[in-house]
Structure 1
Amino acid sequence: MVKLWQPVDWPAPKRVRAIYSLRQGGISQPPFDSLNLGLHVSDNPDAVLTNRAMLQGAAKLPQSPYWLNQVHSTTILDVSCTSDRETPTADAMTSRALSMPLAIMTADCLPVLLCDQQGDWIAAIHAGWRGLVDGIIEKTVAKYPGDPASLVAWLGPCIGPEAFEVGKDVRSQFLDASPEAASAFVEYREKYLANLPLLAQQRLASIGVMNVTFSHLCTYTDAASFFSYRRDGVTGRMASIIWLSD
């Protein structure tokens, strides 16, 4: 039987549940084959909704996840304070609500999941390089009412440091914010290879979040498991999903 998802392996409390989806086991046709979860990529909407329902059943999610219209912004939605299930435009979510899965879609960008050690607060972040530069991680952590040192973070599948080619302008934007970011870039063919997870870990450390787990999974090189926008152009989306159990 094809595996649709994997559990997130991190030191979170038991009442915090988290998974990430794989690309196999759905019904979408090429180039979205096959467990595409993104409605915004020109796939057949009925296929996408079927894929979402299949994942919900296979992973035993308590209900349909909360999905976002992600636009590389720093807009953060508190799901605890809304009952609106229309798809809002935002790139991060926080919640204290039980049994409300938060879903972040990616196909090279970095999914970041957060929770506190008590299992009372969770967050899900869509962290591409633009969001990282603009402070999406710092702004999300600022929504947490407690000490950031008590947070636990997971950095999910994304384009790896041996595949993410960027220009000098991208590197300059990170270095303008923090000289430490230089260690996350390696010169390559008059450009640079960027290490997204390291950049995220640096941003987390700068605000006191030290308990960070790296997935070490590369979307670009593992075509059997993951969609990759950089590799394929027109392609599907995976999801990283977190929720508080009863």
Structure 2
Amino acid sequence: MTLEILTSDMLSSVRHGFFSRRGGASSGIFAGLNCGYGSSDQTEAVAINRNRVAEAMEVTPDAMIGVHQVHSPIVLSVDGPINGEKPKADAVVTSTPGLALTILTADCQPVLFADPDAQVIGAAHAGWKGALDGVLEATLDAMEALGASRKNTIAVIGPTISQTAYEVGPEFLDDFVADSPDNLRFFANGTGDRLQFDLPAFGLHRLRQAGIGQAEWTRHCTYSDPVRFYSYRRATHAKEADYGRLISAIKL
């Protein structure tokens, strides 16, 4: 099966892709294009999958730049391959051609950024905690440090968990209301005291509030489409031992 690569017309000036799980070498619960070495999948299968992504992005495997994601607002600026242990961060930016910035997700938001005029790109992992703590704004700041203008910057949120699938408790709401009472609008009533949180709408709100030029969500829900996407929450509900990781990438 060939790779399935979701793209956005808004980012057509740069090579990019939100890769689905289709077209990979992994099997079992990881069946497909699992790109996460942090999973319990066979290392050889993950390596094959990542090599396929590198080929699709037209880079060598060592030019695929990723970080040790920790749900933080930390952004790493790079100008070449990372040697040795990956730094802890949740976003990467560069103005160096030939590097493919990558993010791994399995419900959290993968966000790809580009200022085509300044030739600066970024990639961010924005779960609820990272988004609330400012990883999206920090990515824009780091891109500006490389010469980008946020008014000319485009951001696209890829496959992520949608509001109908994202049930949370009242204590979750408290963190968002403490940040801003306006954040109430990203929650809908669920069953009992449960609430439904709209993560991509919150991500778009933070991007637009930060003054970004253009932003959109591809409108793909990871939880509700098991054929195409991995989902941490779906795997948890199914009592599966582990879950695959989707990869998203962007390159100048």
Asked whether the equivalents of residues 73 and 133 of structure 2 are also in contact (C-alpha less than 8 Å), the reply is yes
Alignment of 1:160-175 (within 5 A): 160-175=162-177
Alignment of 1:154-233 (within 5 A): 154-189=156-191, 190-233=193-236
TM-score, normalised relative to structure 1: 0.92
User: Which residue matches 1:149?
Assistant: 151
Please tell me whether residue 47 in structure 1 is matched to residue 55 in structure 2: no
Partner secondary structure for residue 42 of structure 1 = coil
User: Which residue matches 1:78?
Assistant: 77
- Cα gap change, 1:98 to 1:117, in 2 (>3 Å): closer
In structure 2, runs of 5+ residues without a counterpart are: 237-241
Please tell me whether residue 118 in structure 1 is matched to residue 107 in structure 2: no
Asked whether the equivalents of residues 107 and 161 of structure 2 are also in contact (C-alpha less than 8 Å), the reply is yes
Question: Cα offset for 1:103?
Answer: 0.6
CA distance in 2, matches of 1:56, 1:84: 15
Relative to total residues, which structure has the larger helix share, 1 or 2? 2
Number of paired residues? 240
Partner secondary structure for residue 144 of structure 1 = helix
Please tell me whether residue 236 in structure 1 is matched to residue 235 in structure 2: no
Identity of aligned residues (%): 33
Question: Cα offset for 1:47?
Answer: 1.0
Q: Which amino acid aligns with 1:93?
A: V
In structure 1, runs of 5+ residues without a counterpart are: none
- Cα gap change, 1:49 to 1:204, in 2 (>3 Å): same
CA distance in 1, matches of 2:11, 2:140: 16
Question: Cα offset for 1:26?
Answer: 1.6
Asked whether the equivalents of residues 20 and 33 of structure 2 are also in contact (C-alpha less than 8 Å), the reply is yes
Asked whether the equivalents of residues 59 and 99 of structure 2 are also in contact (C-alpha less than 8 Å), the reply is yes
Asked whether the equivalents of residues 160 and 196 of structure 1 are also in contact (C-alpha less than 8 Å), the reply is yes
Q: Which amino acid aligns with 1:212?
A: A
Question: Cα offset for 1:144?
Answer: 2.6
Alignment of 1:61-72 (within 5 A): 61-64=58-61, 65-72=64-71
Partner secondary structure for residue 40 of structure 1 = coil
Partner secondary structure for residue 111 of structure 1 = strand
Alignment RMSD (CA, Å)? 1.5
Question: Cα offset for 1:179?
Answer: 2.4
Q: Which amino acid aligns with 1:236?
A: G
